[in-house]
Amino acid sequence: MSTFSYPYVEPQRGVFLPWIMVRLGNKKEGTRLSKPVVALVDSGAEVSFCSKEIAEYLGIQLRNSTAQDFTTANNGTFTAYKVNDLKLYVCKRAYACEFYVTDSLPSQLPIILGQKGFFDHHKVSFNFKKKEMTLEIM
């Protein structure tokens, strides 16, 4: 079983985030990002999210996608569109990953890797004291 360790990222003094760098691709078009983009590993997110800006760049079509409303921690709501055409490149492999595409993500979080799509593919261990995250492929 393959295990990968990643350091936390400090984007601002005193702020340590479990960010990893991932690539996304469009299964249908055969396109993929040439460089990795930052993604938040978030055990509290039920699903995985991708910003509309990134999805559009990859040529993802939302026309026939199912819309779903989500509630945020501060009780706000937003709509996201389920897509099955995205491929996630992470831990030196790639797999088809269900994402919800929305233009409502905070600009700091263009990709959120949640339970469905990410935690169901990896055993994730956070060690905040060591500022380290370990991903084991399941």
Partner 1 sequence: MKTRDLIKPLQESDKGWLAINEQNEVVESELSFAEICKKVEKSRKKLIIVPAAESYSGVLA
On the 0-12 / 13-18 / 19+ scale of CB atoms within 10 A, 21 is middle
Work out whether strand 66-71 and strand 77-83 pair parallel, antiparallel, or are unpaired.
Answer: antiparallel
Greatest pairwise CA separation for the chain in angstroms: 44
4 near partner 1, judged by CB under 8 A: no
Q: Is 108 a binder of partner 1 (CB under 8 A)?
A: yes
Residues 114-133 that bind partner 1 (CB under 8 A): 130-132
Does 92 help bind partner 1 (rule: CB under 8 A)? Answer: no
In the complex, the smallest distance separating the C-beta of residue 32 from partner 1, rounded to whole angstroms, is 11
Q: Which residue's CB is nearer to partner 1, number 34 or number 64? A: 34
Q: Which of 2, 3, 29, 36 binds partner 1 (CB under 8 A)?
A: 36
**Residue located via tokens 């995205």:** 86
Give the number of residues in contact with partner 1, rule: CB under 8 A: 40
Residues 6+ away with beta carbon under 8 Å from 110: 37, 38, 39, 50, 51, 53, 54
Contact status, residue 136 vs residue 122, Cβ threshold 8 Å: yes
Among 13, 69, 75, 92, binds partner 1 (CB under 8 A): 13
Strand partners, 133: 6, 126
Tokens of 52: 């509309």
Site string for partner 1, 51-90 (x = CB under 8 A): x-xx-xx--------------xxx----------------
In the complex, the residues that contact partner 1 under the rule CB under 8 A are 5, 7-17, 21, 33-38, 40, 42, 44-45, 51, 53-54, 56-57, 72-74, 106-110, 112, 130-132
